[in-house]
Structures are given as C-alpha cells and as structure tokens.
Chains A and B, each alone.
Chain A
Amino acid sequence: MSVAESHLHDHHDDHEHDHHDLPWIKKYVFSEDHKVIAKQYLISGIIWAIIGGGLSLLFRLQLAYPDANFDWLKPLLGGWIQNGKLDPEFYLALVTMHGTIMVFFVLTAGLSGTFSNFLIPLQIGARDMASGFLNMLSYWFFFVSGVIMLCSLFIETGPAGGGWTVYPPLSALPQAISGSGLGMTLWLISMALFIVSTLLGGLNYITTVINLRTNGMSFLRMPLTIWAFFITAIIGLLSFPVLFSAALLLIFDRTFGTSFFLSDIYIAGQALSFEGGSPVLFQHLFWFLGHPEVYIVLLPALGITSEIVATNSRKPIFGYKAMIGSMLAIAFLSFIVWAHHMFISGMNPFLGSIFMFLTLIIAVPSAVKAFNYITTLWRGNIIFTPAMLFSIGLVSFFISGGLTGIVLGNSAADIQLHDTYFVVAHFHIVMGSASFFGMLAGVYHWFPKMFGRMMDEKLGYVHFWITFIGVYMVFFPMHYIGIAGFPRRYYSFTGFDFTQSFTDLTQIITIAAIVTFAAQFIFLFNFFFSIFKGRRATENPWRSNTLEWTTPVEPGHGNWPGAIPTVYRWAYDYSKPGAEDDFIPQNVPFSETKGSNFPHENEQMVAEAESIHGK
C-alpha cells in the first residue's frame, strides 16, 4: 500500500487544522467544517419536513371531511377555525406554505445542503469546502430565511396564500386575499435570503469540485453523486438569479406601484391604477427557475441512488458515462421547457407545440437513467439494506411519475389535466416522493460516516414498507380524481354533484397520508436514538469504494488524519473478475490488483510505476 498511502497532499496552507482549541460556539454553531454544516442542514431539513408535512395533514383533513367539526384544532390554529370550520383563506395559506417549505426548505436546502456539503469534500478527497466561511454564511442565510418564513405562519393576516408559485395579481394585491399582505412580504424577504443562501452554497460546491479534487480524481473518475451535486449546483446558479429578478419586480409592484405584472384590475368595482403589466410575464420568469428547480430537487437524489444501487448490487454502475451524459442533457433541456407549465396561459399554441416537443425530449435522458438503474440491479448480488430499499423505491417513483409527465407534456391533454389533481399526483410522485426517498436513502447510507454508528435495520424496513405503500396509496388515487376533473387548491368540492362519488377516495387518501406521516416518526426515533445508542460502525460498513470510507469512523476536522489518498480508478470496481474481494476502493493502485486488471489498466500501471521509480 506504499503508494496509496504516500503523502501527496499537504494540508491546505490557509487552513487551521487543530480545531480542539476552538470555542464551543465556533465548533458546533458557527462552524466552518463542512460535516458540521451538513448536519445542521440535515436537522433543519428534518424539522422543516415535520412542519411542512404537518401542514399538509391539516388541509387533507379539510378535503376528506368537509362537514366535520374541527373545533378540536383550535388550540393549534386559534382564530383560523371559525364555527368548527377551517377558514378558506387559511386553507390556501396552508397549501402555499406546504409547497414552499417542501420544495425549497426540505428538498432543496435539506437535500443539497446536507449531502453536497457532506459528500463533496469527502468523496473528491478534499479537506473541506473551498470557502468554509461562505459555507457557514450559506447555512445562516438559510436559517434566517427559515425563521422569517416560520414567523409568517403566526401573524394575524396569515402567511402567503397565493400558492408556492405566487402568481400575481393574486400575490401582488393585499386586497385580493389576506395572505397577500404582510404574509406575502415576509415570503418574499424569506425567499430572497434563501436564494442568497443557495447561491453561496452552489458557488462553493462548483468551486470545490473543480479546484480541490485529490490527485488522480479526474472528472471521469468522480462518483456519480459528485456529478449530480455538481450539475445541480450549476443549474441553481443559472436559475435562482432569475427567480430573484422575478421576486424583485413583484416587490416593486407591491410596494412602489409599478405595473410589471398588473394591468386593468377591478376590485370590488374599483379600478386600480396599474396599467400595462403582464401577469404571464411573471409565469415566464417563475418557471424559468421553476422547471430547473424540479431537477435541482431530483438530481441529487438520483446521484445518491446511483451510488447506493451500485454498492448494494455489488456491480459496477451500468453506463457510467451515459449517466453523466443524461444528467448533462437533462440539465440543458431543463432550461428550455419551462412553458409546459403555461400551456393554457393564453400562450400562442404554435409556441406551445414547440415547448411540447422539447418537453417530450426530456423523457429520453430520463429513460436512459431509469434503464441504467434497472440494468445495474439486474443479476446483481443485491443486499437489501434500508438505503437500498429506498433507492429502489426512488427508481419506482421516477418511472411511474415520469410516465404521467409524458401525458402532461402533450399540450392537448394538458388542457384537461392542468391544475387538477393529476398534476398533483404527477409531481408528488416524481419530485416529492422520489427526492424524499433519495434523501432518506442517503441518511440511512451515510449515517455511519456522519455519526459513527449504525441505524437499526429492522426499524428501517418497517419504515420503508409503510412509507412506500403509503406514498402510492396517497398519490395514485389522485390520478383518477384528477382525470375526473377535480381542480387543485380548492377548499371544498362538495358544491359540485360530480365530485360526490369521490368522497370515499379522498378519505382513503387522507387516512393513508396520516399513516404515512406517522410512520416517519419510526424514522425519527431510529435516527435520534442511533445517534447516541446505535451499534458502533466500522470504517467501511457497506464495503464501498468511494473515498469517504477511507476516513476514520468519525472523520475529524480535515477529514483524513494523514495525507489525502490518491485515486487510481473509478468508483465502481465491484465484483471485478479475478479480484480478491468483491470491491476495490478508489485508492488502490492497479499494481496491487494485477489479477483483475484489464489490459488498458495494466498500461496505466506501468505509467504509475514509471512515475514513482522513474525520476
């Protein structure tokens, strides 16, 4: 192992490595260590997931039992319950907050924030992020943004209520709905801070991946997780500034009386002075972020899945380069399909058919990824760890939700389906559940590296099966309800005759949602219990190839106590014919694996040897 262990990297020159003498507050609160920041993101994400999920149960109750008496919720909701009924405007606020929290705080910050921070330095062989300070700043911007959003839940006029997409004019005019008053202002402030946080994070991820890879870690040896985080960060860097612009113009419309998005509006018989604005313009700006955002949420989960599926199938990932290519293609295409959210906004139908064409092309790289997961699993020596189960669950959701995407992508079909529960079903399966499963898979898989202990597997299995079945129970029936014409974001359906026959179905959905939500507490128990009392982990419990498993059980500041390992091969040498073990970590040189080398690898070995003994 002399070469693998040879010291190739000096410590970062500009970095303090002995963290022992740091004050408590710099070690655990305002830490600049990427692992601590990752855990901060993870815990924040978990808290937000509980809040966001809880909100959804409230409005699911209303949908399933519109005639029930909700007075028992008064201790929690206070004045939002009047005469035993949920306030209709508060219903909208609940939907809005649920969407915003889940999309941005849980699945963007919680997912990318946790795993990009934790894994990028560990898997590319770096001591930390390019800038620990910016990284810390990124977390605290997110924290403040969250505090503001949380406050908005408790103000008298209620939080923002115009949907997570905050379309004007509804979101621009306080007269229109009470949530568009102070609640919307806080929403905008919070999101502006959130965007700054995401950009600071993304800047750091990209810089780190490009500049701080260890020796030998060429781009084509990077694990697919890193590729996914890297591409995600690039998408974020290009799309979040656009949301920032949209939010800025909306702020001007709200406070300075400009009319970017407003025109010819009458409220209660009164004409407003706004003239010449275009609400569709906002939709263009929003979805230019909004569509890439769905991939910002999904790609990290897909990256995590690639890693876990390969490790636990004990097989090289099928089509490594195709995976990279399809991620790049998805990233590129995601910027030119946004108008599929606007087919019925009055857009020119010819333009619509162009966007339809571009949208349907995305199905190709998506299918490539799905096939590659399946072919990796095919005939593997599959080890069903909880992480593996959640990854396979993700693949299932990615396929079933992607299929309905193709239906929606047809502009003619979308006339019927737009803004119905069909869309809700589509994106909760393909984005919500898939990314959520990716996040859970990641937690189960990297928990040993994060906390030095193992999570309980049995509880993990129970958690998986209830959640997996629960998700399908909740979201699958929504397709039918959607096709039947149920609009989304409606407070009550009982006003229409045709909806009566679906009451049972909505009740089943709600009950399934409650059970699924409750099952997450199994996970929470497992998570927090295992942090303190879990079985002690070994350095490499999953017998995995990537560099993070070459660190000590609980890596300290700087990650490797000695030198950073050098990388000699890709991350997927599992079950290589002729090898002693069924895995060969990335830091094992070819000269030590003569029995299993391919011819071109033998050539590389000669080059290695020359470079060492040549001189």
Chain B
Amino acid sequence: MSQHELNLQSSEPQKPLSMNPKKFAFWLFLVTVLMIFAALTSAYIVRRADGGWLEFQLPSIFWLNSVIIVVSSITMQLAYFAAKKDSLEKTKLYLLITSLLGLAFLVGQFYAWGDLVEIKVFFGGKGSNPSGSFLYVLTGLHGLHLISAVIFLWVVFAQSFKYKVHSKSMLVIECCTTYWHFLGGLWIYLFGFLLLNH
C-alpha cells in the first residue's frame, strides 16, 4: 500500500508549487504593503498634476540613509548565508549589525523630518501643502514598516540564541531577509520616485 502511495504521488500532476504555505502567505502580505505604496505614489502623481504644488529641496540626508539601508541589506544577506552554513556566531553578529543599521536609518529619517521643519515644510496645519504632507506620509509609513522589520530581526536574533536558526530551520530568517530586502528596495523606489517627481 505505501508503495502505491509513493508512486501515485509522483505521477499525479500535483503540487506544482512546492512553496511553504507560510512563506507564500508572507509574500502575499508583501503584496498588500506594495499596493499601499503604489496607491500613495499614484495619488502623489495625480495630485501633483493638478498644480498648486509646493516645490522644495529634498533633505540631503536621504542620500546617506539610502547608503545605510543598502549596506544593511548586504549584512542581512550575509547573516542568511551564515545561517545556511551553520556558522551561528557569524549569523548573530550580522543580525546585530543589520538591526543597528536599521536603527541608524530610522534615526536618519527622523533627522530628515527635522530638516523639513527647518525649511518650513510641515505635515499639516496652516501653511502645509500636500507635497510636504505626502513626503511625511511616505517616509512615515515606510518607517513604521521598518520598525516592524527591526522587531522581526530581534525575534530572529533571540531565536538564534536558542539554536532555532540554522541550515535545517531557515524559514524565519528567510522571511526576515525577504522583508528586509523588500523594505530596502521600497525605500530606494520611494527615493527615486521623489527625486524624479519633485
């Protein structure tokens, strides 16, 4: 009987997608995040085409932040590779560096808001313009997601101390890596978008 089972399973046109359901659901979650930002950037374009748009210089610290987040993506990937090779000490180290870089990025974004206030670009209230408000919303929402990613990193970090992250148990760190790259990519997209549409 069990022989039959095995054979049938291989001959039936089944399970074309052998992706882990949890991982798959996680990817779908990323799609919803992507749609939120797609909606906001489209709204930005539509609104900007209407005129009455306040033009201002983007804070130059965005450049530095972009470099930080790209580097953090590299260290994240290194952590992933290290886990795959079961070098757990390295994994921990890279996870730590990544989360610190993530925090540095967040601090940098906060400074960027300070710069904006300095040149009198406000989120709301009298004298605010949608062009500024959009910038706050885009960076703020991205920042919120990044905070969740940092917390996720810490969860993985904590798990790595309990020997739950290694070459045979990669799901969590894999999702975390994906999320991190996704948010990094998302920032690069947003920054490029803002540079082009300003």
Contact = CB atoms under 8 A, between A and B. Distances in A.
A556 interface: no
Interface string B47-68: 1001011100000000000000
A256 B8 contact: no
A410 interface: no
A217 B17 CA distance: 13
Contacts of B125: 256-257, 273
Contact of A288 (B13, B22, B39, B130): B39
Contact of A249 (B14, B19, B43): B43
A276 B124 CA distance: 12
Given A215-B14, A285-B39, A204 B46 contact: no
A20 interface: no
A126 to B, nearest CB: 10
Which label, helix, strand, loop or mixed, suits the secondary structure of the A interface? helix
A11 interface: no
Given A258-B124, A284-B46, A211 B19 contact: yes
B133 interface: yes
Q: How large is the interface on B (under 10, 10 to 19, 20 to 34, 35 or more residues)?
A: 35 or more
Interface in B7-63: 7-17, 19-22, 24-25, 28-29, 31-33, 35-36, 38-40, 43, 46-47, 50, 52-54
B74 interface: no
Interface string B152-170: 0000000000000000000
Nearest to B24: A207
Contact of B137 (A249, A263, A607): A249
B123 interface: yes
Interface stretch (A150-158, A234-242, A447-455): A234-242
Contacts of A204: 25
B25 A131 contact: yes
Contacts of A244: 36
A345 to B, nearest CB: 12
B39 A8 contact: no
B66 to A, nearest CB: 23
B137 A248 contact: yes
A7 B130 CA distance: 62
Contact of A614 (B7, B50, B134): B7
Given A204-B25, A258-B128, A615 B3 contact: yes
Interface residues of A, number: 57
A240 B141 CA distance: 17
Contact of A238 (B35, B53, B126, B130): B35
Contact of A211 (B21, B36, B38, B130): B21
A577 B33 CA distance: 51
Interface string A185-220: 000000000000001001110111011111111100
B161 to A, nearest CB: 23
Interface in A272-297: 273, 275-278, 281, 284-285, 288
Contact of A237 (B28, B123, B128): B28
A392 interface: no
Contact of B8 (A208, A217, A612): A612
B130 A213 contact: no
Given A3-B8, A257-B126, 19 more contacts: A130-B21, A134-B25, A208-B21, A211-B15, A217-B14, A218-B13, A237-B28, A238-B35, A241-B32, A242-B35, A242-B38, A257-B124, A260-B47, A276-B130, A284-B43, A285-B39, A607-B11, A611-B10, A612-B7
